[in-house]
Structure formats: structure tokens, C-alpha cells
Amino acid sequence: MFNDRREQVLLTADHKAHVDLGEVTMTEKEKSIILWYDELEGKDFNLVGKKNANLGEMIRAGIRTSPGFALTIYANDLFITSMGIKSALENYLKDLGRVTYENSLKASAFAVNLIEEASVPSIITDELFREYQKLCDLAGVENVPVATRSSGAISMPGQMETFLNIRGQEDLLHYIKKTWASAYFVEAITYRMNKGLGFILNIGVGVPKMVNSRVSGIVFTLNPLNGDRSKISVDVSYGLGEAVVSGLVTPDNFLVDKVTLEPIRSKLGEKEVQCVYEETGSTIKTVNVPQEARSRLSIDKEELKEICRISKAIDRYYGKPYDIEFAIDADLSFPENVIILQVRPESVWSKKEIKPKIEKKKDAMDRVINQLITGVRLK
Amino acid sequence: MASKFMDPHDVETIPGTEGWERMYPYHYQFSREDPLRAEHESSQLWYYDGLHYPEPHPPFDLLWDEAWFLALSQNNTRTFLVPPAKGIEHRIVNGYVFITPIGIADPKEIEARVPVFMKRAGYYYDNWDTLYVEWEARMKGLLNELEAVSFRPLPEIEDESMVFEKRGTSSGYHLMNQYDHLIGMGFKCWQYHFEMLNLCYAAFLTFTNTVDQIFPNTPMGTVTKMVSGIDAMIMRPNAELIKLAKLAIENDVDQVILKPLNAAGCMKELEKTTPGKYWLSELEKARYPWFHISTGTGWYHHDASWNDNLDIPFDAIRMHIKALKAGKVIDRPTERLVEERDKLVEEYRGLIQTEEDREAFDQTLSIARRVFPYAENHIFYVENWFHSVFWNKMRQVADILHGVGFIEDKEDIWYLKRGEIREALWDHVTSWATGIRPRGSSYWPREIAWRKGVMEKFKQWTPPPALGVPPEVVTEPFSIMLWGITTDVLKKWLQGVEAAAGGGETDELLGAPGSSGVVEGPARVIRSVEVLAELQEGEILVATTTSPSWAPAFTKIKGAVTDVGGSMCHAAIICREYALPTVVGTGRATSFIKTGDLIRIDGDSGVVKILKRA
């Protein structure tokens, strides 16, 4: 029902998480039903799936994303085992013989139906609702809107579902089951089949808070005008990022020193309009920005610094300039409200050939002479 | 926008000051007498040297201006042959000094100077550390020589040693000789001052320009941080005060010092106890040389040193004691500063994309760091230590002239040119020799009374920031480094000229970025160190320029704005130390901003905005 909406959190970093096969007894963490993002690290991908583990790793690297938690792969297993889904699937497969392209559609429908119709044991729901309440408390919002995102321990790019703008316990439980079920969509089953993997797959489910963007914008971890890597450029305007991304508004623009994180230049943008969600939360509309808000910068110095601090961490983490989408969440308090939505490598300057900016000279003395002769030109 | 400033010959004499020119050397006047010289004068950009001179010049005080006029220029033109720059010319208008850098336009002439410069400057750069040690020794030698000079009234009759020890030279002769020697030492000190300074700035400028090419728009403050030394002498006086404040607490004499007494009263109290005596002995150790620090720029006779007015360091010690007792950390965080500096360099270096650029960065950083201690330390030796002692030696001369009635007040001596004092002393010495009344006692008091009136009128006048025609290129390292003469600054000044002409008033001032950051707060305009105590916690200091001795006040303020100065001026350096946003070189902050105005200063863009008038 929300498939028409852009996925809000799209951190797609690939991690060199190491695989630990040596352990036999389950640790406390391995028996968890829910783990918060900030409890996770890259090597936890076998507990919560890659996407979730990556988010934890990001947080560890100082890259803040929307707060939330993950239902573990163990929780999925607990669900299908205790509700008899696992044995039902195994029996079904026995009857089927083997999964083929021909019967995959039928197998998919069987599994999806089984999961979506089952009830979830209280050992899972009790904890899920308790942790969801904590997220509501953190945001100070009743039935805070969240997303559910599937997260497998192995990469199955884009073959599983994300559902947005989920509110309340009932809705949440409903979409968590739908997310679990999405592991049995035809594309997912055939992908596993091609790879020679098993039919049954337990996945992690990420439950991040939907970002309530007071402002959002784009960062380049270089100066986009000249490729200078010692600068960070920030474009920011009110509401959802669409307004900035699509060029609907002239945003506020900041040039910041990447090393010291001190602003060098601030330019006030027009910011006539902003994009916001409709009341129902399903579509985006454009509304006018009040004159008072237009005539001042949309973020303060501390927020700017925090955006740049995180952007610098991303640049360092990947070792190259990045293009970053961020938002400041109206429900959260500073600095937790500064949230990274999407990152991708910078593509313009990274492709250009890098030429020296300074002429080759014999030695320092030669450079001093050259400086004296050139002087400083008054433009 | 206007493209040039007023022609220097067209500046009008202030009514009632006609004849003011005789208070200064004749060659300091703009004049149309010689058409060739006049044409040259009209074609140059002359800017008001408010960095050194926030006030009009008392005639005697012009000697330091003469001293650097000679020393800087000779070194550029005749000694090192700085390829495109010949030095800086000086003029005086209504008591205010205007200067202009002299460039060389002919590329052939520049080229011809290069090999000589390479050989001579190269020798200095290559042997910098050794030469600096030798320079310091020479400077200290000169300071000892200065201390040894003294002036005493002439005796009624000469001591008999004149005869029996065959001395041969009289006290009168000796007085003249001592005066010449004193003035000579003053000039010598300035010869030393410039021995290495221009090379120093050239190297630093090369580094800043290298950084600017690799990383355009990097704030000047950040660039300076990469080269600045941590143990600069100019920081030492305040460090001594902090030490004394701690010592007072440790020895339980802090309560005595906190009493509302002046320095003399306080010292009298301290004399009464053993720990008090101990503290006073430590105070004495700190005073020489560190209390020779000037409370002004050091360029004026009235820029008292801490030694001249112990109330100032005592106030500062009190401030430090209170801060320490409130649990504040007031030590200069040297370790953190070193760490920050190294991290800064490492990070920038890591962002350089090519081997060529990295080599340029490394080479120019290394040479800039080698020369920087000189840039930081010479100011303490010359403008503070030497000048502070020198002014007091001159006061001994004033005692003599006052004793014979040439001047009614000892402080009147500054209304005479250095050459006129020599003439007056000659008048005195010859009249002493003959026993006949001198002319001085009837001549000078009248002249001085008139000059005082002229000086008052000068003070009421606001000098324009510049005169003449802006050049296309500035090659003189000092102009850029110290006065911050750049395109933007000139543009801003020209806008000011326009605004003044159109009577248009804005709520914004543009200066040069001094220290990064934005801050809002109430302004306090401080024109001299005596009223520094009026500064309230959280205010923004607005001053013509500041001196290192103002350092204790920087723990109180939120930021600073100055009329004059570039990124290397004291206010900028010290504000970066204290991480206070600062805008320098605004041209007219002290007249534009009033105490109590709510202002916002942006140390990155150089913009000062008045949010609300008091």
C-alpha cells in the first residue's frame, strides 16, 4: 500500500564483516529478539541481517541515522518454529518434491499466506511493543510512524520489501509479518534457488523511525565549484528533501572548512516553498514557507557543524568525497535529530583528472622569489 | 563605486592649525612644489597607518615612524634587493601618518635584482636559526647599552676630576653626546628590527598563498595556526601574571592582593609578612624584562608599560586570582595548542591530491615555520622592551629641560621634534657654559601651548582610510600581512568614501576575518588600556587596535573588532589563541559602533552588523 513512496533510508554500504563460525552455544546477544541499531556492529550481520548490521556499523563510525531497532533473525526463527510454520513448510516441500520455476508461484503463495495469517507469540510481541513504546517516548510522539525493512544475512539486492509510515502496535505487527513473508516472494525464492540455497529463510527486520524532516538537504564533502577537498558544501531548505533535490527552491548554502568544521561562507536562500507529507502520510504536497522563516537561515551554527561532522565521518569512512542526503528530525532533540538519509560517492570531481595546482619549483627559496615577483593581484 | 580616493594634495588644513607642518619633518609633507614628486604622490595609494597610529602624532613620537621608514625601505631597496618591492614611503597629513608601498614596474629591473636577492636572502634563510640567535644577542647587548644611559642636571661647577684626571670633555658636551647616543640607539634598534623581518613575512606569505592555491578560501587564521609557535615571548608577560596569581594563593597572600588598594598600597601591606616579602621578590623577578610590555602599541610615549603603572598588572593578577578561585582554568593550553596545530597540518596535508602540491606545501610550511619565531618575538624586544625603557630615558631629558624652564610640564617634551630637543639642549648647554639666560625658556612654552591646541584639533579630525589611486598589484609583503591591504579591503574603503559622500548610513561594516566564528553581544568601545577594567563579562571589545598587554581582558570577552590590522596583527593572533571570533581592519569600528550597541560579528566573512543601537 505504501510502495509508491520513496524509501527513506537507503544506506547501501557493503561491509567486510567477518564470519565467525566457531561458536556453538548462543550468547546473550544471539538470543535477543530485539537489538537497537546502536547496539549493533558489522559482524552482527548473522544476527540481524546485513542492512541492520551496517546501520550499527555506521553509528559506530559516527554516522547517525534515524533511531530504531532490529528484530533479529532469531526472532523470525522463533516465530516460524513456535507457530508450526517451519514444520508446515518442510512438510509442504516434501510433498512438492522440489521447487521449480513452474511451482514457485504456488510455493510462494503458500508460504506468504501461512506467515501473514499466523499469530505472533507473546514472547516476541511483548518485547516488540515495549521497544516500540521506547521509540515513541524518544520522539515524544504517540504511535510514532516507523518503517519496516527486511534485512537478510546474505545479499539479495532489492528483492525484499520496505513498508513506510506504519503507526501503532497493530499496524506494526501486521507489517512485520508482511516483511517476514516478503522473503518468500517469487523473486526471492528463485534467487535462492539459482544460488543453490535453501527454501526457508529467516531474516532480520529493521524498524527505524520515519524521519519527520523539519529541514533537509544535500552535502558534498568537497567544494562542488572547484573540487577542493578541504571544504564541505551544504544546501539546506525546509521540509522534505524533494524540494532541494528537484531544484524546486534555492536553498541556504554553506561552505565549511572540512578540517576545522568552521563555516567560511553562508548564503541565504529564497526557500519560497517546502515539501511535506499529506495528513494521511501517503503523498507529498508543496506548501508556502512563511516570510519570517524564509528571511533567516534554516539551520543554526550548531546544527550545521553537526551535519558537517557526520559528513566528514562518512568521507573518512569511505576514504573519498561523498554526496549525502540528510534531514533534521522535528521530533528529536539536538544532536540526535541530525540524521543521514542516503549516501553515494561524489561523481563529478571524482572522475576528473587531478592536476597539480602549484608549479614545480626547484626549492623553497625559488618559491619565495616567485611569490615576491608575482605579488598579490588585486582583482 | 568610486575608483580612487581623494588626491593627497587636496586634503584641507583644519581651521586654526595653519602652520602645523613645522611640527614635523619638511619631507613628510605632501607638496606640489616639485611637479615630478607631486605627480608621483598623486599616482600612489596612500593608506592611513592606523595599525600603528590610532592617534595623531606628537612631534617627538614621529621618530619611530622615521626609524621604520628608513629601515624597512633600505632593506628592500638596497640590502636584499627584494625583486619587485622598494619599501614604503611615508607622509603626514593633519598629524596622521599615511604610507604607500613602492613597487618596481619594469620586469627587466625586477629580473636583474633576482640573483642578488637569491644570494643574500638565501644566506639568511639557510642560516636562519643561527642568525636569529646572534640577532638576539645583539639586541640584548643594545638593551644593556640603553639601560646604561642616564641624564643628570649639569653641575654648577665641574668636578675636579675634569682637571686632575684629564677628562677633557665637559658635562655639557657629555649631555649632548648622551642625547645623540640615545637617539642613535633608537634608530639602531629599528635597524635590527627589520634585519630579518621582511624576509620573514615573504616566507610566510609564500606559505599562505600556497595554501590558498591548493585550498581556496581557507581562513587566514587557520593558515596562521599551522605555522605559529607556541612559546612566543609576547605571551610570556600574561603567563607571568598567572604564575604570580597562583603563587599568591599558594602562599596565602591572595587576600592581601584582593584588597581594594592600589599597587603601592598593596606592596606596602605585603612587605609586612614573610610570605608577602617572598611574593614581592618573585614579582621583582617577573618585572624584568616581562613587565616592560606596553599597554599600547608601544609607538607612543603615553603607552605606559606595566613597570610604569603597576596598577595595571596588579588589576590583572586580581582578575586571575578571582578566576582561579572560581575554579576556572586560565593557563594557556600549550599542549592542546601544539596538538591542534599538528593535527591541523596533518589533516590538510592528507587532503592534498598530488605529489607536486604536497611538495610545495611541505617546503613552504617548513620555511614559514623556521622564520616565524622571529615574527612573533621581535615585537617584544623592540616595541615593548626597548621602547618602554627608551621613553623613560627621554623623561630624564625632559627633567633637565623642565629644570631650566624650557618646558612647563615634563610631559611637554613630546611636543618637540627630536631635532628641536637637540637644539634646546644646545641652547641650555651653551647658556650653562656662559652663564647667560637661554632663549628656550621664553621660546618653547609659547610654541608648545600652540602645538597643544593643534594636537587637540587633530584628534577631532577623522583621517580618511586612504588617499590617491589603488594599484593593480600589491607586492610589498608588509602591506598585505600587517595592514591587510587586499582588494576587498580597498573596495570596502571605497564604499565608505561613497557612503560618506552620499550621506547613506548602513548597519554593516566590513573588515578582514581575524579569528573564526560568529558571535552576538553588547559592544564596548575601549580607547585605552586605562579603561579596560570597564569591560564586562560577555561583551564584544571594540578597539582601534589592541596590545598584547590586554591579554587578561580576553578571558572576559566574547569577541573583538578593531579599526585596523590584518590577520597577523595582535588582536587577531590573540583571539585565535582564545578561540574568540574577531574582525580586524574595519577602518572605523570605534566611531561607527557605540558602547551598548548589540552587534554581531562574523570572524569568517569579516562582517560586523549592528543589530540594535544602544
**Residue with the larger pLDDT of the pair B479 and A287:** A287
Q: Which among A229, A255, A260 has CB closest to B217?
A: A255
Query: What would the grid cell of residue B415 be?
Result: 611636543
In this complex, do B604 and A258 lie within 8 Å of one another by their Cβ atoms? no
User: Residues of A with CB below 8 A from B202's CB?
Assistant: 368, 371-372
Q: Which among B216, B367, B471 has CB closest to A364?
A: B367
Most confident among A52-61, A138-147, A263-272 (mean pLDDT): A138-147
Average pLDDT of chain A is 86
Alpha helices by DSSP H, chain A: 45-48, 50-60, 73-82, 85-96, 104-117, 122-139, 169-181, 186-194, 242-245, 291-294, 301-318, 364-374
Give percent of chain A above pLDDT 90: 57
CA distance B37 to B42: 9
User: Residues of A with CB below 8 A from B114's CB?
Assistant: 369, 373
Give the model's pLDDT for residue B482: 63
In this complex, do B348 and A231 lie within 8 Å of one another by their Cβ atoms? no
Query: What would the grid cell of residue B267 be?
Result: 606592596
Q: Say how many CB pairs under 8 Å bridge A and B.
A: 138
Q: Testing the interface with A: which of B217, B488, B575 to mutate, by most A Cβ within 10 A?
A: B217
Coil, helix or strand for B397?
Answer: helix
Nearest Cα of chain A lies from the Cα of B539 at a distance, in angstroms, of 20
User: Among all chains, which residue has been given the C-alpha cell 619587485?
Assistant: B84
Coil, helix or strand for B522?
Answer: strand
Query: Do you know the residue count of chain B?
Result: 614
**ω into A335 cis (within 30 of 0):** yes
> pTM value?
0.79
User: Residues of A with CB below 8 A from B366's CB?
Assistant: 364
Nearest Cα of chain A lies from the Cα of B570 at a distance, in angstroms, of 21
* B489: nearest CA partner in chain A: A378
Give the model's pLDDT for residue A348: 85
Q: Testing the interface with A: which of B125, B226, B604 to mutate, by most A Cβ within 10 A?
A: B604
**Residue with the larger pLDDT of the pair A175 and B501:** A175
Query: Which residues contact residue B235 at a Cβ distance below 8 angstroms, ignoring those fewer than 6 apart?
Result: B332, B548, B551, B577
Average pLDDT over every residue of B548-574: 76
Nearest Cα of chain B lies from the Cα of A351 at a distance, in angstroms, of 13
In this complex, do B486 and A378 lie within 8 Å of one another by their Cβ atoms? yes
- Residue A12 pLDDT > 50: no
CA distance B171 to B177: 9
Q: What angle do CA A190, A195, A198 make, to 5 degrees?
A: 75
For residue B113, CA distances in Å to A239, A372, A374, B194, B221 come to: 62, 12, 14, 19, 33
In this complex, do A228 and B604 lie within 8 Å of one another by their Cβ atoms? no
User: Residues of A with CB below 8 A from B486's CB?
Assistant: 376, 378
What digits encode the pLDDT tens for the residues B235-273? 899 899 999 999 999 999 999 999 989 999 999 999 999
DSSP state of B29: S
Q: Is the ipTM of this complex over 0.85?
A: no
Nearest Cα of chain B lies from the Cα of A211 at a distance, in angstroms, of 30
Give the model's pLDDT for residue B331: 82
- Residue B15 pLDDT > 90: yes
Which amino acid is residue B169, in one-letter code?
T
For residue A249, CA distances in Å to A285, A338, B2, B339, B432 come to: 14, 21, 36, 42, 87
CA distance B479 to B567: 11
Asked if B466 and B48 touch (Cβ cutoff 8 Å), the reply is yes
Band (B513; pLDDT cuts 50, 70, 90):
confident
Asked if B43 and B10 touch (Cβ cutoff 8 Å), the reply is no
In this complex, do B206 and A371 lie within 8 Å of one another by their Cβ atoms? yes
Q: Which among B222, B355, B357 has CB closest to A257?
A: B222
Most confident among B211-225, B379-393, B588-602 (mean pLDDT): B379-393
What digits encode the pLDDT tens for the residues A164-174? 889 999 999 99
What digits encode the pLDDT tens for the residues A271-312? 999 998 887 666 888 999 999 999 899 999 899 999 999 999
Average pLDDT over every residue of B14-20: 96
User: Residues of B with CB below 8 A from A364's CB?
Assistant: 125, 203, 206, 363-364, 366-367
Band (A158; pLDDT cuts 50, 70, 90):
low
SS (H, E, C) B546-570: CCHHHHHHHHCCCEEEECCCCCCCH
Find, among A292, A137, A359, A106, the residue nearest to B213 by Cα. A359
Residue B201's H or E segment, with its range, is helix B197-214
CA distance A59 to A38: 6
Find, among A72, A70, A68, A71, the residue nearest to A135 by Cα. A68
B107-126 and B128-148 are packed helices; what angle lies between their axes, rounded to 10 degrees?
80
In this complex, do A371 and B118 lie within 8 Å of one another by their Cβ atoms? no
